[in-house]
Structure 1
Amino acid sequence: MTNPLNPGPGRARPLGATFDGAGVNFAIFSQNATKMVLCLFSDDGKTETARIPLPERDGDVWHGYLPGIRPGQLYGYRAEGPFAPEEGHRFNPHKLLIDPYAKRLTGHPEWNDALYGYEVGHDDADLSFDTRDSAPFMPKCVVEDPCFDWGRSRRPETEMHDSIVYEAHVKGATQRFDGAGPKGGFLAMASEPMLDYLTGLGVTAVELLPVHAFVNDRFLVDKGLTNYWGYQSIGFFAPDPRYLDRARLWEFQYMVARLHAAGIEVILDVVYNHTGEGDEMGPTLAFRGLDNAAYYRLSEENPRHCINDTGTGNTINMSHPMVLRMVMDSLRYWVEVMGVDGFRFDLCATLGRTDTGFDPGAPFFDAIRQDPVLADVKLIAEPWDIGPGGYQVGAFPPPFSEWNDKFRDDVRRYWRGEDGTAPALADRITGSALQFDHSGRPATSSVNLVTAHDGYTLADVTSYEERHNEANGEDNRDGHGANHSDNFGVEGPSDDPLIVAARAQRRRNMLATLLLSQGTPMLLAGDEFGNSQGGNNNAYCQDNEIGWLDWSAADEDLQDFTRRLIAFRKAHPILRQKRFLHARERIVDGIEDLFWWREDGAQMEDADWEDPARRLVCAEMRMASGTPPYAQREEALLIAFNSGAALDLTLPELPEGRVWVRHLDTADPDAEPVPADATVALAGDSVQVFVQEPRDG
């Protein structure tokens, strides 16, 4: 192959392919390579037009400059170096590699044995060496100029205590949504009907499942399925091509600008703990071929094998400074260039692993906490992985917030009517202080959820007791086994009006618990209108009607009630506090900020909490002790959660001229606010909310 181009030395920074108006600077990291070759391709990606060894190396960054190259040029890399799997090295120049800093890819790998660095089926397995060219089956990187005219677009900068997060899948939310066109991508998320819906619901942020370019696992493709959720990243700077209708970066930026104009933030679910290359038997697509020993954590006893703390085959080596730099560069890129407002870190415990295990002072946490670009964005951890000591709920340093699965499980168990769950519910609705009230962390550190993409939808939590994942092709063995769900005596859909009514009320109860609790609420898209996945609690491979939201079957009454709950939360700062409630006296009036009441109007005692049959949790909340006087904007809320039979509830006495006004009742969702008597009827399996107000209105 000829090389008609004469590259200049270029610069070692920035990494990636950078267009400067006259040409493109190419720079890529590899510590252990002996030669780095830039490959250029024709516009259709089918013909390799040039192979150009990068002429310079500064430290471990290889670089060169090509004048005359413009955005739209397709490229990739081939890396030469030792093929010594027993030492952790898997260089193979026959394999075309994705630039980790590529801003766009042309598509996805087409599965073929040529994508592997070893001969598939060989007796020596991954110790063998494959000489077939993988380029015909690989997506190509695209040189991009990511400039975008943001105009007057401004970030909403919603405070965490005012946030209501809506977890959504780009395609799943839009594929069957009327008026969103074209369907299934970023432009659909930016459509006027979708924006109207989100603003009408009242959410303040959308948390999008992974949009970084990701791999469709071969075992799924062989079964006629696909990686729907996207937790197999292969490009940390490139949006996945399936969400780009016109193959242009501006589509994502336009979506962000439109959501910002509507007052809605964009949070990305990001996967920096592993890549889509799998374990040592996986393909050679990017990182493995560029420098396996640098990018991945390998077994000290036998570097041939990857450490697998993630359950996906490999673990990214965050202890390497250049790998850490890649992650930090990626985060800054999505904030500064693509405009996003925060990140949810998949398996974030992995990012905090050092040689001695999980460490809240790990290099990644230190780097991200001092970074001035990332100081103003939301950081949310999924606080676990499958490695040793991987469950770390509450252990992350500020300013991280964390998904709180204890909230999910305890709320579900309480509403199922399980014995002894009242104390746990009390902990959850007051912010899970045992886990999060340390190191100056606010109550908003607990990201509360009753459902998420991973598991049942809310409709299915109230309709199924057994998972129904047969469509996944794993003999129904995948997905959570313990879901703390309740089918009300019938597995799946029912036309019994009593069961239908009971399920609807349970859904209202759980949504009310979510939106009336201290912390940051996260609502799974579709839960607000009863979306079902037919009992599938692991729809990661269901890019079809199972995984897509069914807007045509929406329960409009549940939608209306959810809107009302969100509006109520926004109207009452007592529900949105940064400080924890610990029943401490307040300087402003000497009244404690939290009381727990029995149904007879007496305060709860230890024996009451120890009663396993207790089904009533009744909390009277005020602005927390220590809240500045200027923030004391309302008197008190009383919230009664009753997972048992109907009862009469005696309300606490109030000063002269004050009255309890009932604002919400899950047993009567359309009821208007009304002053309450001294004793009120509390329906079984229900929630009521009272606001202390002046008697004269």
Structure 2
Amino acid sequence: MSTQPTRPHPLGVRPRDGGVDVAVFAGHADAVEFCVLGAGARDGAAWKERRVELTGRTHGVWHGFVPDVPLGARYGFRVHGRWDPRHGLRHNPHKFLLDPYARAVVPPAMLAPELFGHTVDEQFEGNHRVMDERDSAPFAAHGVVTNAPKHRHSTKPHVPWRDTVVYEAHVRGLTKRLPDVPEELRGTYAGLAHEATLEHLKGLGVTTVELLPVHVSLAEPHLARRGLPNYWGYSTLNFFAPNPNYAAATDPQGVLDEFKAMVQALHAAGLEVLLDVVYNHTCEVGVTGPTLSWRGLDAPGYYRLDSGGHDIDFTGCGNSLDATSDRVVQLVLDSLRYWVTEMDVDGFRFDLAPTLARGHNEFYRQHPLLVAMRVDPVLAGVKLVVEPWDVGPDGWVTGGFGAPFAEWNDRFRDDVREFWLPGAARALAGETPGGLRDLGTRLAGSADMFEPGRGPLAGVNFVTAHDGFTLADCVAFNHKHNEANGEANRDGSDHNRSWNHGVEGWSALDVEVGPEVAAQRRRSIRNLLATLLFAAGVPMITGGDEFGRSQGGNNNPYCLDDETSWLDWDLDDWQRDLLATTRQLVALRKRFGGVRATEFFTGLEGRNGMKDLTWFRADGPEMQWQDWEDSHLRTLLVRFAASDLDESTEALLLVVNGAAEEQEIRLPRDGRYARVWSSGWERPRDPEAPRPPSSTTTVDPLTVDLYVTG
């Protein structure tokens, strides 16, 4: 049976009266069959399969109208053509291939051995796999014919960058243990949309929820063999379908509707939704991995391959999608537009973004994909954030992407943690701790990293993220403890810039660790939070850090879908105090426009007669260049004047004492200053009475104080 020819665009499977329009790219194929599955089972029973040859072929796109395909039908493709692995061609009609444009996907429960190709004693032709003649349909992922998601579009919050506070979270981990969410909704899109979750997010004061990957994904072979998932989801199976494992709904159409309803609930609460997206590689790993979709359709058209047909890997994950290919550029743009126009999301964070902007090997700022994203009318109104590094040659390019992209600022993370953790430990030990220059640069918006026209809002500041120690573990562990991952503690970073305060690990804080160490740790957490929230740039808080969650020292629990990764909402007293403190700090940040600067500071006076940013020594005079070069100097005052964009004339004075001793400070002479917060306070307090100009006071060792003046 063959199809009626139709147009080659748009790609994917679209229902219409009497059947579906089908279009799929397979540029090197000799024939492509559209396969509709009937009754069957994943236990090995035979599938009833209807195969329909696509007769239309236009510029490598195979297309046609297939009648009598109902909504809810499972489908895929079989591709006929050359088997020539040395040139990257692995056409194999025995492989049931997933539509790259499927809007809903039924993934295999786990990556079955049948999907790998052959067993470990397989035969090879030279150095290349021979064709596997076993049918993979019972074990493969299936596309599902669906309608567009229900619900009208919501009103997007459109939070300005200067007001943005990002909250990075995992759909499952955020609510899996949240007691006020009904048990059947915990760990789902519906659970994230539940009023209990929204109340926490709104109460915290964040504006933008950045979700770890929600695209349907599949565990890598080395995890599947051990029965472990890729919990974080950085192993994409399809770039259009939401992961059904995060849905309370059990039918594919219900998954789509539930996801969009979640986005709309967050919008109604005034919160934006960003998706962490992984367009740099796929779950097919390298040529010895499974053939699930792109590799069987047209490996040379989708992947970066060398002259022998092997994958070029800039990602550390076995393969790299080739963004120099027109079809990959189209795939990425089509996916982004879909999530914006159909699913209503507000933006994206691009994992390992340099891989998307490489020419032959080198990073190319004017790469066609980046240019296309910059000028695309659909993407013009959304937030675009990049992770500006990969593992390829010269892969660290922080500051190199240009507007309108914001970039994760890893230098902020490293310098702030170095100052407050290893640097503080050295100061207490009487060693040379390192001075203020790097910290000052980060507080002022990292002008050394970003071009003048971009301003401090080009940087997304963070001290923790999903990978690495949590904030609480940064102050409790000197070394990673990743044994539960099953990789003999070899995975994860060994360079954590952490400090355990003399005792390795968490326990019953005030009993086994001891009250003094516990108090020092809590103060260090508050120091890090205050520095994050009162630095110029866009702050990002990692979910759970607001109340001191621990992962037991595991800095890479990417494969642990358990209590290690799920947020524990059963809070101790100190955690409730920390949560109240975080809420207060976020609210204070919103109060002061100077710290939310849109341009780099110039030292010029504003409407209240103050310089936009002023640095003071502890004894009163403004900082001079030699002060910044003093590796022993650890105390300073930094004043953010009121912004001309805000009605208030209040200025914010940040007092930083990274020294091991109490320091006497002199407040500026041009105003009365009231202390509103101190990292020495275990919980929020009422503001103190204003102090006279030029008055002196003391700041405790390893402490941040915040003062305000009108």
TM value normalised by structure 2: 0.93
Q: Given that residues 654 and 706 in structure 2 are in contact (C-alpha distance below 8 angstroms), is that contact kept between their aligned partners in structure 1?
A: yes
Alpha-carbon displacement from aligned partner over 1:181-220 (angstroms, at most 9, x marks no partner): 3111101101111111111111111100000011122221
Q: Does 1:275 align with 2:282?
A: yes
**Among candidates 27, 31, 34, match of residue 35 of structure 1:** 31
* Structure 1 residue 508, shift from structure 2 partner: 0.7
Residue of structure 2 in register with 1:649 after alignment: 665
Q: Given that residues 420 and 610 in structure 1 are in contact (C-alpha distance below 8 angstroms), is that contact kept between their aligned partners in structure 2?
A: no
Q: Which amino acid aligns with 2:175?
A: T
Alpha-carbon displacement from aligned partner over 1:632-673 (angstroms, at most 9, x marks no partner): 64242210111112111101101xxx4112111111243311
CA distance in 2, matches of 1:53, 1:641: 70
* Structure 1 residue 534, shift from structure 2 partner: 0.1
CA distance in 2, matches of 1:630, 1:398: 22
Aligned length: 677
* Structure 1 residue 570, shift from structure 2 partner: 1.0
1:680 partner SS: strand
Residue of structure 1 in register with 2:74 after alignment: 74
**Among candidates 679, 682, 685, match of residue 671 of structure 1:** 685
CA distance in 1, matches of 2:313, 2:605: 50
* Structure 1 residue 437, shift from structure 2 partner: 3.1
1:351 partner SS: helix
Residue of structure 2 in register with 1:122 after alignment: 122
Q: Given that residues 483 and 489 in structure 2 are in contact (C-alpha distance below 8 angstroms), is that contact kept between their aligned partners in structure 1?
A: yes
2:20 partner SS: strand
Q: Given that residues 350 and 387 in structure 2 are in contact (C-alpha distance below 8 angstroms), is that contact kept between their aligned partners in structure 1?
A: yes
Q: Does 1:579 align with 2:595?
A: no
Query: Which shifted more, 608-617 or 320-329?
Result: 608-617
Query: Which shifted more, 161-170 or 411-420?
Result: 411-420
Structure 1, unaligned stretches of length 5 or more?
none
Q: Given that residues 149 and 260 in structure 2 are in contact (C-alpha distance below 8 angstroms), is that contact kept between their aligned partners in structure 1?
A: no
Residue of structure 1 in register with 2:430 after alignment: none
2:416 partner SS: helix
CA distance in 2, matches of 1:517, 1:48: 61
Equivalences for residues 442-453 of structure 1 within 5 A = 442-453=455-466
Q: Which amino acid aligns with 2:633?
A: R
Residue of structure 1 in register with 2:429 after alignment: none
Residue of structure 2 in register with 1:622 after alignment: 641
Q: Which amino acid aligns with 1:334?
A: W
* Structure 1 residue 573, shift from structure 2 partner: 1.0
Query: Which shifted more, 638-647 or 412-421?
Result: 412-421
Deviation >4 Å, runs of 4+: 43-46, 117-120, 587-591, 629-632
CA distance in 2, matches of 1:327, 1:342: 14
Q: Given that residues 435 and 630 in structure 2 are in contact (C-alpha distance below 8 angstroms), is that contact kept between their aligned partners in structure 1?
A: no
Residue of structure 2 in register with 1:295 after alignment: 302
Residue of structure 1 in register with 2:706 after alignment: 689
2:101 partner SS: coil
* Structure 1 residue 589, shift from structure 2 partner: 6.3
1:239 partner SS: coil
CA distance in 1, matches of 2:588, 2:113: 57
Residue of structure 2 in register with 1:513 after alignment: 531
Query: Which shifted more, 57-66 or 227-236?
Result: 57-66
Q: Which amino acid aligns with 1:473?
A: G
Q: CA RMSD in A?
A: 1.6
Q: Does 1:257 align with 2:259?
A: no
* Structure 1 residue 563, shift from structure 2 partner: 0.3
Q: Does 1:535 align with 2:553?
A: yes
Q: Given that residues 110 and 224 in structure 2 are in contact (C-alpha distance below 8 angstroms), is that contact kept between their aligned partners in structure 1?
A: no
CA distance in 2, matches of 1:43, 1:102: 20
Equivalences for residues 201-280 of structure 1 within 5 A = 201-246=204-249, 247=251, 248=254, 249-280=256-287
CA distance in 1, matches of 2:383, 2:83: 42
Alpha-carbon displacement from aligned partner over 1:590-640 (angstroms, at most 9, x marks no partner): 64322111111111122221111111132112256xxxx564642422101
Residue of structure 2 in register with 1:12 after alignment: 8
Q: Given that residues 456 and 537 in structure 2 are in contact (C-alpha distance below 8 angstroms), is that contact kept between their aligned partners in structure 1?
A: yes
CA distance in 1, matches of 2:300, 2:48: 28
Residue of structure 2 in register with 1:186 after alignment: 189
Q: Given that residues 118 and 129 in structure 1 are in contact (C-alpha distance below 8 angstroms), is that contact kept between their aligned partners in structure 2?
A: no
Q: Does 1:56 align with 2:63?
A: no
**Among candidates 497, 504, 518, match of residue 491 of structure 1:** 504
Residue of structure 2 in register with 1:638 after alignment: 653
CA distance in 2, matches of 1:178, 1:561: 22
2:238 partner SS: strand
Q: Which amino acid aligns with 1:27?
A: A
Residue of structure 1 in register with 2:625 after alignment: 606
* Structure 1 residue 174, shift from structure 2 partner: 0.9
* Structure 1 residue 23, shift from structure 2 partner: 2.3
Residue of structure 1 in register with 2:569 after alignment: 551
Q: Given that residues 476 and 503 in structure 2 are in contact (C-alpha distance below 8 angstroms), is that contact kept between their aligned partners in structure 1?
A: yes
Q: Which amino acid aligns with 2:19?
A: G
Q: Does 1:199 align with 2:202?
A: yes
CA distance 1:187–1:43, shift in 2 (3 Å): farther
Query: Which shifted more, 29-38 or 221-230?
Result: 221-230
Q: Given that residues 92 and 117 in structure 1 are in contact (C-alpha distance below 8 angstroms), is that contact kept between their aligned partners in structure 2?
A: no
Residue of structure 1 in register with 2:400 after alignment: 395
**Among candidates 522, 540, 544, match of residue 504 of structure 1:** 522
Query: Which shifted more, 468-477 or 101-110?
Result: 101-110
1:51 partner SS: strand
CA distance in 2, matches of 1:459, 1:147: 40
Alpha-carbon displacement from aligned partner over 1:577-599 (angstroms, at most 9, x marks no partner): 1111132x236466432211111
* Structure 1 residue 241, shift from structure 2 partner: 1.6
* Structure 1 residue 272, shift from structure 2 partner: 0.1
TM value normalised by structure 1: 0.95
Equivalences for residues 356-375 of structure 1 within 5 A = 356-375=361-380
CA distance in 1, matches of 2:137, 2:68: 24
CA distance 1:378–1:630, shift in 2 (3 Å): closer
Alpha-carbon displacement from aligned partner over 1:256-298 (angstroms, at most 9, x marks no partner): 0000000001000000000000011111000100001110001
* Structure 1 residue 571, shift from structure 2 partner: 1.3
* Structure 1 residue 110, shift from structure 2 partner: 4.1
CA distance in 1, matches of 2:634, 2:398: 27
Residue of structure 2 in register with 1:436 after alignment: 450
Q: Given that residues 641 and 650 in structure 2 are in contact (C-alpha distance below 8 angstroms), is that contact kept between their aligned partners in structure 1?
A: yes
CA distance in 1, matches of 2:329, 2:656: 46
CA distance in 2, matches of 1:690, 1:352: 44
Q: Does 1:285 align with 2:292?
A: yes
* Structure 1 residue 179, shift from structure 2 partner: 2.0
2:213 partner SS: coil
* Structure 1 residue 69, shift from structure 2 partner: 2.3
Q: Which amino acid aligns with 1:529?
A: F
Structure 2, unaligned stretches of length 5 or more?
427-432
Q: Which amino acid aligns with 1:320?
A: S
Q: Does 1:99 align with 2:99?
A: yes
* Structure 1 residue 121, shift from structure 2 partner: 2.4
Q: Which amino acid aligns with 1:578?
A: T
Q: Given that residues 618 and 639 in structure 1 are in contact (C-alpha distance below 8 angstroms), is that contact kept between their aligned partners in structure 2?
A: yes
Q: Which amino acid aligns with 1:562?
A: T
CA distance in 2, matches of 1:630, 1:232: 43
Q: Does 1:168 align with 2:169?
A: yes
Residue of structure 2 in register with 1:177 after alignment: 178
Q: Given that residues 103 and 237 in structure 1 are in contact (C-alpha distance below 8 angstroms), is that contact kept between their aligned partners in structure 2?
A: yes
Alpha-carbon displacement from aligned partner over 1:341-374 (angstroms, at most 9, x marks no partner): 0000000011111115001100110010010000
Q: Which amino acid aligns with 1:392?
A: V
CA distance in 1, matches of 2:61, 2:119: 30
Q: Given that residues 343 and 378 in structure 1 are in contact (C-alpha distance below 8 angstroms), is that contact kept between their aligned partners in structure 2?
A: yes
Q: Which amino acid aligns with 2:458?
A: S
Q: Which amino acid aligns with 1:619?
A: V
